[in-house]
Copies of this chain bind each other. A is one copy, B any other.
């Protein structure tokens, strides 16, 4: 497979995507990010410079620029004079991520910001816009009916991204999107995606319902309990794997 030099349609998934026409290094980073997130490049495996640059049809220089991008996103790690490897999450990493999520997501639910920055300059009188949350819950349920557990997981992430958006900060959204990407490195270790995501459908619905009633305090507390449970599951998966 080669990365075509100039055109290219990627870049949407990039946390740094602005209105900037992607350079080759950017597109290579996009390709590698996708491969890491889809598990084609598994945690701990080395991504060899020479081999990859040949496979992608780019120079080693360009590839190394792409590496720096993904190292900054914590998806790759650099070991001096040994090379670049797909990041491997350890238990403390997972705990740290969930501590982060508890702080951010609970605060976003407890103190949602009136105008959630994004477009449709809204009916933001008082109550926040929960339509993205509702859509994510609906999608998750539909996917569960179809037994499409991977899509249930995707909807779950979308729900929590939407919760983060209640905080009203674009860069917070971006940080959290990057953090969820990191988490996928650990999700891959979970043997049964159904057992992972299924129980959280009802929890998300409950959190949404409480927020919709304007009971931000209880909504936030339910989120905390959700995250505690999720952390325990992921930690278990990481420690067994």
- A positions within 8 Å CB-CB of B: 16, 20-21, 23, 25, 61, 64-65, 68-69, 71-73, 78-80, 96-97, 99-100, 103-104, 106-108, 110-111, 113, 117, 167-172, 175, 179
With A80-B23, A103-B172 already in contact, the answer to whether A16 and B167 are too (CB < 8 A) is no
B61 touches A97 (CB 8 A): no
A-B pairs, top 9 by smallest CB distance, nearest first, are: A72-B72, A107-B107, A68-B68, A99-B169, A100-B169, A61-B61, A103-B167, A21-B80, A103-B107
CB of A111 to closest CB in B, whole Å: 7
CB of A185 to closest CB in B, whole Å: 14
User: CB within 8 A of A111: which of B61, B79, B103?
Assistant: B103
Separation of A97 and B170 alpha carbons in the complex (Å): 9
Residue among A103, A107, A111, A167 facing the most chain B CB atoms (10 A cut-off):
A103
CB of A229 to closest CB in B, whole Å: 18
Residue of B nearest to A101 (CB): B169
Residue among A21, A110, A172 facing the most chain B CB atoms (10 A cut-off):
A172
A23 touches B78 (CB 8 A): yes
